[in-house]
Structure 1
């Protein structure tokens, strides 16, 4: 009898485990099952605002017990990418603690004087002065990096402009397009796999968006599961030219069968 493969789980956060500040039913049970069976997993988010510690506290308030080292953000992926490209470099950063902390931890110096990179992340307080400075630095030769291409982010009041929208503004002003590190760039998936020492053939990506989660999973060679508890619906999923390996209502459908997520 062939030995059953041991799966590694990559899971998007918003729309998969939580919705705003509320737990998606079954998410806590799935995390408990993964930990009990000693299965490797990471919770992923394109949001670069928060540190791992911040996100652990946020998830804990909803009832999810996720260790800090099981959280992977576009800020961490961006820092790891820059560390491979230009170790101990310099950057002018627009973003919050999640991004600045990640860059400091790889030895980057944050400066507005002739930086190697302009790094754009997400913040709830985009400054016209900072954006203007970024435009002038990119015009002066700084390389342009952005943590993720999401055009908007959610809030209780409605949509907010996010990294992708501000990146478009800077690109329009400078004629220089940014390199986006976060989903749907499969680099985000690869960096997550590398942080775990996992392999693509035994890793699955669970997400609620066809255009970012499923696409990046497919392009990284992962198995993919779409949940219908977030952005994409069964109808909208049919509009895309690619398919996930499985479509389920929510992660609650995986409880009790985490070691066999693709039955049959």
Structure 2
């Protein structure tokens, strides 16, 4: 374990749980980190939930969590815009987590001549919403994408993600969005700033080579891959080749991870 790492940014789905089922050892990992006073943040590309919703979801599975420990792509997107253009006009295509984050950042939600179009997962996405988004962007609005995930895991199988909806908007407009969530380093910087630490003092823990580990590398953080979700022992070599990045550490499960980072 790298002794320079003072805190951890921990992915959620695929790392600590699958849907509503906790991955074995997730509760012990967080408990041990808390007992040792090691700072941590839960960092997720999911823009549909508020930090409060995420914390409740974790608590229901027996994983200790507070809302102020949760960094979502929605909150990071709202912060990103608010720092550039405080109080500007924003049109949102998304769900509760995104709408709440934009409102709490002091941005004006509108459907009339927005300065920014912010898009996340929207399970009520329609042709009319696609038309609106295209017209807003043609009218000069800047396009922000909370996260580029093409697919989402669910208990019933895979679902189209925010990146799939974005593909339609990009095809219609030719516009390339500013991407906030992993593998972009923007969400990672938002999280490390909240911790008050330098990127090199923090390690990212996640199961996805394409998002978690690549984001950590892009942000200059340490990286720990867990073979608990998207990346497995069977497909690891394929992901190493396709991403061109290599995690600093690889753990087969969360019990091994806990032993390594809390011993």
Q: Pick closer, same or farther for the CA change 1:209–1:6 going to 2, 3 Å.
A: closer
Aligned to 2:198: 199
Q: How does 1:195-234 map to 2 (within 5 A)?
A: 195-234=194-233
Residue 228 of structure 1 contacts residue 247 of structure 1 at CA under 8 Å; is this kept in 2?
A: yes
Report the more deviating stretch, 91-100 or 127-136.
127-136
TM-score by length of 2: 0.94
Residue 51 of structure 2 contacts residue 70 of structure 2 at CA under 8 Å; is this kept in 1?
A: yes
Counterpart of 1:144 in 2: which secondary structure? strand
Aligned to 2:187: 188
Q: Pick closer, same or farther for the CA change 1:259–1:201 going to 2, 3 Å.
A: farther
Residue 6 of structure 1 contacts residue 259 of structure 1 at CA under 8 Å; is this kept in 2?
A: no
Residue 182 of structure 2 contacts residue 212 of structure 2 at CA under 8 Å; is this kept in 1?
A: yes
Q: 2:249 aligns with which of 235, 246, 250?
A: 246
Deviation at 1:257, TM superposition (A): 4.0
TM-score by length of 1: 0.93
1-structure distance, mates of 2:211, 2:257: 21
Residue 30 of structure 1 contacts residue 251 of structure 1 at CA under 8 Å; is this kept in 2?
A: yes
Moved runs in structure 1, 4+ residues, more than 4 A?
A: none
Aligned to 1:73: 72
Q: How many aligned positions are there?
A: 257
Q: How does 1:55-94 map to 2 (within 5 A)?
A: 55-94=54-93
Deviation at 1:140, TM superposition (A): 1.1
Deviation string for 1:202-227 (max 9, x for gaps)? Answer: 21111111111111101111111111
Unmatched runs of 5 consecutive residues or more in structure 1: none
Query: What is the alpha-carbon root mean square deviation over aligned residues?
Result: 1.4
Aligned to 2:11: 12
Unmatched runs of 5 consecutive residues or more in structure 2: none
Q: How does 1:136-155 map to 2 (within 5 A)?
A: 136-155=135-154
